[in-house]
């Protein structure tokens, strides 16, 4: 047992001798003082090997508009993202079926229409970790309430596109 332990300690000491081989060598001058051969730089960098772009787009679930309310209504959305350098996120908002709102019973004849404004595609890059609100928020307005009072429904599509950084 003592022999095995002494051999094990000897092997450990051999491995310990290898560690200083990776250090910077500093030589002594004639007086015994250390003299570096030149300035040394150590690179400090952000290690992003395990980082990927992440994002969350929060959009409204539904928008109810009171009957005969012809004002603009916000379809506000927000972005939280951590995007790699060169990556971008774009959000496009579009009225489905040209803003046609169908009668809930869908008789195929009766419609109301809404318009969508301030719906330009917005692009986001970099860090938006505070729930960035786009500069222009889409707005919905029902143009005319010229049909029978009933529930009409239409829809708006939000399209989120992620573009990866160039390789």
What is the per-residue pLDDT across 109-165, written as a single tens digit (0 to 9) for each? 778 899 999 888 988 888 776 767 777 789 999 988 888 888 899 999 999 999 998
Asked which of 70-79, 80-89, 127-136 is least confident by mean pLDDT, the reply is 127-136
The answer, yes or no, to whether residue 23 has pLDDT greater than 70, is: no
Burial environment of residue 142 by CB neighbours within 10 A (0 to 12, 13 to 18, 19 or more): buried
Contacts of 2 (CB under 8 A, 6+ apart): none
pTM assigned to the model: 0.68
Q: Which tokens in the block code for residue 72?
A: 């603009």
Give residue 124's pLDDT. 87
Domains of the chain, by residue range, sit at: 2-35, 54-163
Burial environment of residue 10 by CB neighbours within 10 A (0 to 12, 13 to 18, 19 or more): exposed
Which CATH number describes the domain made up of 54-163? 2.60.40
| φ/ψ (deg, to 5) at 69 | -95, 105
């Amino acid at each position: 047992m003592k022999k095995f332990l002494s051999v094990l300690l000897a092997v450990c000491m051999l491995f310990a001798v290898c560690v200083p081989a990776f250090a910077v060598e500093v030589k002594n001058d004639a007086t015994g003082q250390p003299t570096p051969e030149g300035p040394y730089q150590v690179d400090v960098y952000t290690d992003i090997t395990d980082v990927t772009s992440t994002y969350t787009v929060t959009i409204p679930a539904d928008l109810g508009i009171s009957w005969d309310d012809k004002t603009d209504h916000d379809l506000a959305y927000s972005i939280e993202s951590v995007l790699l350098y060169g990556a971008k996120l774009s959000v496009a908002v579009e009225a489905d079926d040209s803003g046609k709102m169908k009668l809930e019973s869908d008789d195929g004849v009766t419609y109301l229409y809404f318009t969508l404004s301030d719906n330009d595609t917005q692009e986001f890059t970099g860090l938006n970790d505070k729930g960035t609100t786009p500069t222009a928020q889409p707005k919905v307005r029902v143009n005319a309430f010229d049909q029978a009072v009933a529930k009409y429904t239409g829809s708006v599509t939000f399209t989120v596109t992620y573009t990866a950084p160039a390789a």
